[in-house]
Amino acid sequence: MAAFKTIAFCAVLALAPATLAGCSASDGEAVNPASRSQAVASSVKAQERRPNIIVILTDDQGYADVGFNGSTEIPTPNIDRIAKEGVRFDRGYVSFPVCGPSRAGLLTGRYQSRFGYDLNASENPLDPTAGLPLTEMTIADMLDQAGYTSAVMGKWHMGNHDQFHPFERGFDEFYGFTNGGHDYFLDRLRNIPVKEAKNGGQLYQSWLMVGRQQVPTSGYLTDWLSDRAVDFVARHKDKPFFLYLAYNAPHTPMQATQKYLDRFAHIADERRRTYAAMVSAVDDGVGALLDKLDALDLADDTIVFFLSDNGGPLHRARNGSVNLPLRGGKGDLFEGGVRVPFAMRWTGRIPAGIDYPHSVSSLDIAATAAGVNGISLPARNALDGVNLIPYLTGKRKGEVPHQRLFWRYPSDSRDNMRIGRRAAIDGSDKLVEYRRDQSLFDLASDIGEKKNLRSSRKVRARELDAAWQRWNDQMAKRSAIAIYNEWEGS
């Protein structure tokens, strides 16, 4: 596969820095010169068009803050379309209650604990161990085998070092930032090279990346990402694509334009009002993306996922989100930390209006992408997720995607055996341990995890504890990455 993709470089990038309020179809160095997808596509025998795959990920969004989970305070008609025209997952889980490890699980389809990514990685841009281990395959790596063109828009958070850049992890285009968060008002950003950043604050304020190059931009970050996503779809409408649209909204800092704030003048609490405006901006972007799919007659050829990376934060970095009726929030292994707004559609293939009651996981996204393309992975990259399509179309009637799911949260060190929090689900039973204090809940009757049944169901608690121990025995004993508190700039 020696052939390479032909690239048209954007003149404003090649000749001089210019403010990128928008960029045309020749988005220059947003494109990976080493992309092999066209060469692979010519060798793939496809009997029918392979489905496009779009993953829309929000950051720190509360379980209750979408219309399809009952929100009336923050209308999300466009996000709700995904659930209405496809599936609402009542028990949609992520693999970790904090950004970085959750994304590592989503992108690989594997419990991130298998490869020692149990805490947020250090943001040190010069540390070659501070990011997604190079042993792991991303969804983009997998789909490259089937001739897909892949793009990341937004928050990467899989490492700031050059070797973790999206171009090194299977992606063909990148618009966004490699660290864990960013300011939203693009005109205020500064020319701070990522490699020279001394702390997280400087990373938040640095120019965005188009490909590998940091460039000045203008406008509001959420809108900018939405525009790039719509443009990507239009440019790649004739061949299969994978779009990972990773908004950093509604993560702090709480920043919104007047256009969106004016929609929520009735909300008295300033933080909640700004949060609502940030979610509304995402909803507008989702609407523009779905409308573009319709206009290009691609809706039936595109699988769309929507979810948040974890629950809304209730304490540190509080953003005004609501997780009710769930208990807890970001950082917790109670439902409010790991059970998230989660929906999916594939019009024409999956029946519309499904309210799916069984546990699904963000790990299933990669497995679904691989499954619909018949992609086999090396044993060392075996997936923990499952292809959801047979469960949603009735081909695996009477079966559930996951009888059991597991979590662990180490105590802020590289020793992954120092577990501060852990949890296991088996059906509707859930065991949670925090600082060696165990609770057992029946989620079928107690979604808010208020009634601890451990004393009356000791045998069941021991069963879940033993199942978790067997799972944990398969996981990495030490962190494979430099963790968040090891950089002086943290």
Q: Domain coordinates of the chain in residue numbers? A: 50-392, 404-484
Instruction: State the pLDDT at residue 487.
Output: 83
pLDDT at 289 over 90: yes
Predicted confidence band of residue 8 (pLDDT cuts 50, 70, 90): very low
Q: Using CA atoms, how far apart are residues 226 and 282, in angstroms rounded to an integer?
A: 8
Instruction: State the pLDDT at residue 29.
Output: 65
Q: Report the pLDDT averaged over residues 232-258.
A: 98
pLDDT at 35 over 80: no
Q: Report the pLDDT averaged over residues 169-187.
A: 97
388: Cα within 13 Å, side-chain hemisphere: 29
pLDDT at 349 over 60: yes
Catalytic, out of 99, 182, 236, 402? 99
Q: Report the pLDDT averaged over residues 387-402.
A: 95
Instruction: State the pLDDT at residue 14.
Output: 32
Q: Using CA atoms, how far apart are residues 117 and 345, in angstroms rounded to an integer?
A: 30
- Sheet (strand 173-177) strand order: 213-215, 208-210, 173-177, 149-155, 241-246, 52-58, 302-308, 342-345, 87-89, 354-356
Q: Which sign, positive or negative, has the C-alpha torsion 158, 164, 170, 176? A: positive
Q: Which residue type occupies 214?
A: Q
Q: Report the pLDDT averaged over residues 168-176.
A: 98
Q: Report the pLDDT averaged over residues 240-263.
A: 98
pLDDT at 260 over 60: yes
Closest to 449 measured CA to CA, from 315, 323, 326: 326
pLDDT at 251 over 90: yes
23 carries an active-site annotation: no
Max CA pair span of the chain: 72
Predicted confidence band of residue 393 (pLDDT cuts 50, 70, 90): very high
Q: Which residue type occupies 427?
A: G
> How far are the Cα atoms of 35, 41, 210, 354, 487 from residue 4, in angstroms, in the given order?
6, 12, 20, 42, 38
CB 476 within 8 A of CB 417: no
In CATH terms, 404-484 corresponds, of 3.30.56.10, 3.60.21.10, 3.30.1120.10, 1.10.645.10, to: 3.30.1120.10
Instruction: State the pLDDT at residue 454.
Output: 96
Q: What is the DSSP string of 223-244?
A: HHHHHHHHHHHHHTTTS-EEEE
**Is the previous residue joined to 101 through a cis bond, with omega within 30 degrees of 0?**
no
Instruction: State the pLDDT at residue 21.
Output: 52
pLDDT at 278 over 70: yes
CATH homologous superfamily for the domain 50-392: Alkaline Phosphatase, subunit A (3.40.720.10)
**Beta-bridge mates of residue 87:** 344, 354
Give the model confidence (pLDDT) of 137-166 as tens digits. Answer: 999 999 999 999 999 999 999 999 999 999
Number of helices (H), then strands (E), in the chain? 13, 16
Please classify residue 353 by burial: count the beta carbons closer than 10 Å to its beta carbon, then call 0-12 exposed, 13-18 middle and 19+ buried.
exposed
**Least confident window among 132-136, 214-218, 315-319, 344-348:** 315-319
> How far are the Cα atoms of 53, 112, 267, 294, 311 from residue 233, in angstroms, in the given order?
11, 30, 35, 11, 29
Instruction: State the pLDDT at residue 419.
Output: 82
**Beta-bridge mates of residue 209:** 176, 214
Q: Using CA atoms, how far apart are residues 294 and 233, in angstroms rounded to an integer?
A: 11
Q: What is the DSSP string of 98-114?
A: SHHHHHHHHHHTS-GGG
**Beta-bridge mates of residue 343:** 88, 306
Q: How far is CA 402 from the centre of its chain?
A: 20
Rounded (10°) CA dihedral 451, 403, 349, 51: 110
Q: Using CA atoms, how far apart are residues 159 and 168, in angstroms rounded to an integer?
A: 11
pLDDT at 39 over 80: no
Mean pLDDT of the chain: 91
Instruction: State the pLDDT at residue 417.
Output: 66
pLDDT at 56 over 60: yes
157 carries an active-site annotation: yes
Catalytic, out of 23, 157, 165, 236? 157
Rounded (10°) CA dihedral 171, 173, 175, 176: 10
Predicted confidence band of residue 30 (pLDDT cuts 50, 70, 90): confident
Q: Using alpha carbons only, what angle is made at residue 247 by residues 351 and 243, rounded to the nearest 5 degrees?
A: 55
